[in-house]
Amino acid sequence: MALTVAVAGATGYAGGEILRLLLGHPAYLSGELAIGALTANSNAGQKVASLMPNLPALAERAILKTTPENLDGHDVVFLALPHGYSAEIARQLPEETLVLDCGADFRLVDSGDWVKYYGNDHAGHWPYGIPEMPGRRELIARSRRVAVPGCFPTGATLAALPALACGLAEPDLSIVSVTGVSGAGKKAAVNLLGSETMGSLRAYNTAGKHRHTPEIVQNLKQGTGLDVRVSFTPVLAPLPRGILTTITAPLREGVSTQSAHEAFCDYYAGEQFVWVMPAGGQPQTQNVVGTNMCHIQVEVDEDAGKLLVTSAIDNLTKGTAGAAVQCMNIALGWTEAAGLPTAAVAP
């Protein structure tokens, strides 16, 4: 009997990306995995064909209302919902159901951080889904609940971890992430209209106000055991997908570009979704679109005494849906890379 998968919030960008990946998953193609309920709220009752014509294999499927009853009975449930909606639904699903929450509800350990940045009651904490972090694969493999990471924390965490864990830089990071507009979701908003974003760049939620700031700090503290300070600035750019992150930090004595590059290569040796680029290359968002990859480069700015790390991810794939499918594969004991592209479309 096929394993059944439901997607809540299926008509959003993250939900649609999960479906795109599932449709190419070897288990789906072999009949071992079946796509069950597709749910949403405002789009309930409509057909996939009218909402997501990029998914013709599901064109005649109707979107159901997002309720625990419609999600119950599935082996796997992806929750691609805004923060604050997942917790109550998750509580009503059976313990044996594998639930992967792409929202923020269960990412933060510290309830004080949650209240400060999100303003409502803390729902708790689930095992966190960046498999490339130390010890995460083992935790995910024995879990039935997984908190899928935020897109900004994914690119920043993967870029910063080797720098701190290998003693290349001081744990005082300045992080700037340039992101495409799909990171804000499909909701209608004046500041996300084409006429407002095309030909313009804008920083937002600056000076430590962005909700992903405590998530980045949490990851780096857990991954290195260091007391980490982070200044995070997100910048909105006129592109659909992608996040380019640059990190600068005070350089430790004796570190060169060559030694830093070797340390990064050693740290990610064997990681199929992290590519430390050859010296001289630079990550570009166009080279990761639609993939579960994170491209990274590291350099030393000798005159400034700073380490510079740059990373590129697709915010909807490695930053959300790809991470969710990667965690599903691990939790189910499947090949981790199953259904996850590593080659982008070019040009």
Residues 6+ apart with CB under 8 A from 321: 14, 17, 18, 20, 21, 80, 102
Residues 6+ apart with CB under 8 A from 157: 130, 133, 149, 216, 219, 220, 223
- Assess whether the previous peptide bond of 347 is cis (omega < 30° from 0): yes
End-to-end CA distance of the chain: 41
Q: In what order do the strands lie in the sheet with 294-301?
A: 202-203, 229-236, 172-179, 243-250, 306-313, 294-301, 274-276
Q: How many C-beta neighbours within 10 Å does residue 46 have? A: 14
| CA-wise closest residue to 36 among 67, 4, 69 | 4
Q: What angle do CA 121, 135, 117 make, to 5 degrees?
A: 25
Rounded-to-integer distance, Cα 18 and Cα 134, Å: 25
For residue 41, give the DSSP letter.
S
Amino acid code (one letter) for 127: P
Catalytic residues: 151
Rounded-to-integer distance, Cα 336 and Cα 169, Å: 31
C-beta separation of 330 from 27 below 8 A: no
